[in-house]
Amino acid sequence: MDDDPSVVKSLSRTLRVHAFQTKAYRSAREFLAALPNGTPACLIVDVQMPGMTGLELIHHLTTAGIHIPTIVITAQSDLRVRERPEAAGVIAILSKPLRNTALIAAIDAAIGTEKDPDQEPS
């Protein structure tokens, strides 16, 4: 999830090229509404999103007892952003612009080296 549609499109394309199944959401609320249909193997979330920020989404999921390996992406250089999600089990915090190698390495760390075809990064 990202607040910039072009970033979402680029991320989805990059992940598909690397053989990951993806599902993109326009907002945290849309993602939460889709959770009853299945929990993804990995979640990629931007810090800045409309309505509910990425950090608020992580907190909401953790509070609800839902644990999804999460990669946080951010354009912010504020160290507080980098320290805050670590307690929630965030796998990686990546700065924009994203490097594909760093993103793929973070996904591999989140889901392990073996991809499960029934789960997809979001």
Residue pLDDT, tens place only, 72-120:
998 876 555 556 555 566 888 898 888 999 999 999 999 985 444 445 5
- State the pLDDT at residue 114: 45
Cis preceding-peptide flag for 97 (omega within 30 of 0): yes
CA 73 to chain centre: 7
pLDDT of 49: 86
- 69 has pLDDT over 90: yes
Strands 90-95 and 43-46: unpaired
Beta strands across the sheet bearing 90-95? 43-46, 70-74, 90-95
Q: Tens digits of per-residue pLDDT, 5-26? A: 787 888 889 889 988 989 988 8
Domains and CATH numbers, the chain: 5-111 (3.40.50.2300)
Q: What is the pLDDT of residue 107?
A: 94
At 23-66, the pLDDT tens digits run: 988 889 999 999 999 999 999 999 888 889 888 999 899 999 99
